[in-house]
Amino acid sequence: MSQPLIVPGFVNAHVHPDKTSFGSAWLHRKPAHSLKDLISNDLETQLGYTDSVETRMGTLVSNAIASGVTAMRAHVDFGPQIGLKNIHGAAAVKDKYKDLIDLQIVAFPQFGLLSNPGAVDLLEAALSEGAELVGGIDPEGLEHDLHGHLDVVFGLAEKYGRRADIHVHDTGEVGYREIQEIARRTQALGMNGQVTIGHAFALADAPSAELERTLDAVAEAGIWIATCALGADPVPDLELMAKHGVNIVLGTDGVRDAWSPFGTASMMDRAHLLAYRTNAITDEQLENCLDIATVQGARMMGIDRVLNFDPADPRDAVYFEAQNRAQLVVDRPVASKVVRGGVQIAADGRLS
Ligand SMILES: [Zn+2]
């Protein structure tokens, strides 16, 4: 048999595991014509789930581990509509699988922060009940209060010494304004390298002087950009990002939830989608997508077991049957073996 190809563990840098129906009954989804529709369908779906967060998220996480995912940054919903039960459920899953995967929990104000009375207090409470990072969402586009929203997010990050990870779906001038203000506050608080912006669709806008200015501000503040290569949504030009020194990480976003029937727990699949969406042709372009799905995410999350990967002493590694890293991204085979801390934890897509 040929030599296996050994790569570092995968990192899902942006996922919503509390929303998933993975492993549960098939969801019959409603159409949505706007972000507001998607959010209200999401809430209705979550309120209707009969399986708990622990059950649904646990199934997704165990499948992810078996596919070679070694770390996840989970954006977990809270709000007066659902309280902190998703945060508590996610914290239970994190504890259950703590020897198999590194999970970071972001308290994510999916249903609004300032626009959702009671949510600010719940965000602060979430930070002492299982969430490590402070989340945010479209401060201007959805919340209509750029500074008020960011005062809360950065205020709590500073008060408790936490990192921040903020969703920004807005494009054009609104998106640039939000991203530039996040960069300005990151620099002002000395939080370089500790802030992530999810999606950042504005960074995939047509070339302009304002886009260039925004990219430079992002790079100077060391802000991580989490893309998910989703459906028809904009994906940043990886070469343009590299030219400006902007660091990209990769996530799945929601998996089989009210937002989309698509997605798997596998970051191998997602690296393939990123390569496909960015028109990768050369080995170098394909390998770059694999690096984004592994070491780049690990740099953002601070996962040494990925960053210290040594193919000569693979104590933390994922094994595949593939000729090389470029072919791996195209063929996305099942992981033949997953090793963590020198112990085999999964083989052929199943936990050991
Ligand atoms: Zn998201």
For residue 37, what are the CA distances in angstroms to 43, 48, 144, 174? 10, 17, 17, 20
Q: What distance in angstroms lies between residue 307's CA and the mean position of ligand 1's atoms?
A: 25
- Å from CA of 240 to ligand 1 middle: 23
Whole-number pLDDT of residue 2 = 73
**Distance from the CA of 76 to the center of ligand 1, in angstroms?**
9
Tokens representing residue 272 in the block: 């393939």
For ligand 1, the distance from its centroid to the CA atom of residue 142, given in whole angstroms, is 14
pLDDT at 3: 85
Q: How far is the CA of 196 from the centre of ligand 1 (A)?
A: 12
Q: Can you tell me the distance from the alpha carbon of 223 to that of 318, in angstroms, rounded to the nearest whole number?
A: 28
pLDDT level of residue 32 (50, 70, 90 thresholds)? very high
Query: What are the tens digits of pLDDT across the range 43-102?
Result: 999 999 999 999 999 999 999 999 999 999 999 999 999 999 999 999 999 999 999 999
Predicted local distance difference test score (pLDDT) of residue 1? 54
Segment 14-31 shows an average pLDDT of 96
Share of the chain above pLDDT 70, in %: 100
CA of 35 to the centre of ligand 1 (A): 12
pLDDT tens digit sequence for 106-120: 999 999 999 999 999
Residue 171: pLDDT band (50, 70, 90) is very high
Predicted pLDDT at 279: 96
Position 325 pLDDT exceeds 70 = yes
- Residue 151 to residue 135: CA distance in whole angstroms: 12
Beta bridge partners of 344: 339
Phi, psi of 211 (to 5 degrees): -60, -45
| Greatest Cα-to-Cα distance within the chain, rounded to the nearest angstrom | 61
Question: How far away, in angstroms, is 262 Cα from ligand 1 center?
Answer: 14
Cα–ligand 1 centroid distance for 22 (angstroms): 17
Q: Domain locations in the chain?
A: 9-314
Residue ranges near ligand 1 (ion) with Cβ within 5 Å: 253
Ligand 1 centre to CA of 159 (Å) is 25
Q: Separation of 42 CA from ligand 1 center, angstroms? A: 12
Q: 318, 329, 316, 255: which is closest to 288 by C-alpha? A: 329
Identity of residue 80: P
pLDDT at position 231: 86
315 CA from centroid of ligand 1 (Å)? 31
Instruction: Report, as an integer, the average pLDDT of 180-188.
Output: 98
Distance 343 CA to ligand 1 centre (A): 32
- What's the residue count for the chain? 352
Rounded to whole angstroms, how far apart are CA atoms 86 and 57?
Answer: 10
- CA of 340 from ligand 1 middle (Å) equals 27
pLDDT tops 60 at residue 142:
yes
Q: How far is the CA of 256 from the centre of ligand 1 (A)?
A: 13
**Measured CA distances, 281 to 65, 126, 286, 331 (Å):** 29, 44, 7, 14
- Over 90: is that where the pLDDT of 166 sits? yes
200-221 residue pLDDT tens: 999 999 999 999 999 999 999 9
**CATH code assigned to 9-314:** 3.20.20.140
Distance 169 CA to ligand 1 centre (A): 9
Residue 274 and residue 230 in contact, taking contact as beta carbons nearer than 8 Å = no
**Average of per-residue pLDDT across 214-235:** 96
Q: Which of 96, 9, 60, 10 is nearest to 339 (CA)?
A: 9
What separation in Å is there between the alpha carbon of 197 and the centre of ligand 1?
A: 10
- From the CB of residue 44, how many other CB atoms can be counted at a distance below 10 Å? 11
Q: Give 234 Cα–ligand 1 centroid separation in angstroms.
A: 14
Alpha carbon of 91 to ligand 1 centroid (Å):
18
In the predicted structure, residue 136 carries a pLDDT above the cut 80: yes
C-alpha 251 – ligand 1 centre gap (Å):
9
Question: How many whole angstroms from 1 Cα to the centroid of ligand 1?
Answer: 41
- The residue-averaged pLDDT of 331-337 equals 97
Confidence at residue 148, expressed as pLDDT on a 0 to 100 scale: 98
Compute the distance from residue 324 Cα to the ligand 1 centre, in Å: 31
- Euclidean distance between CA atoms 91 and 76, whole angstroms: 10
Angle at 59 between CA 54 and CA 63, to 5 degrees: 145
Q: Is the pTM of this model over 0.95?
A: yes
Rounded to the nearest angstrom, the distance between the alpha carbon of 14 and the centre of ligand 1 is 6
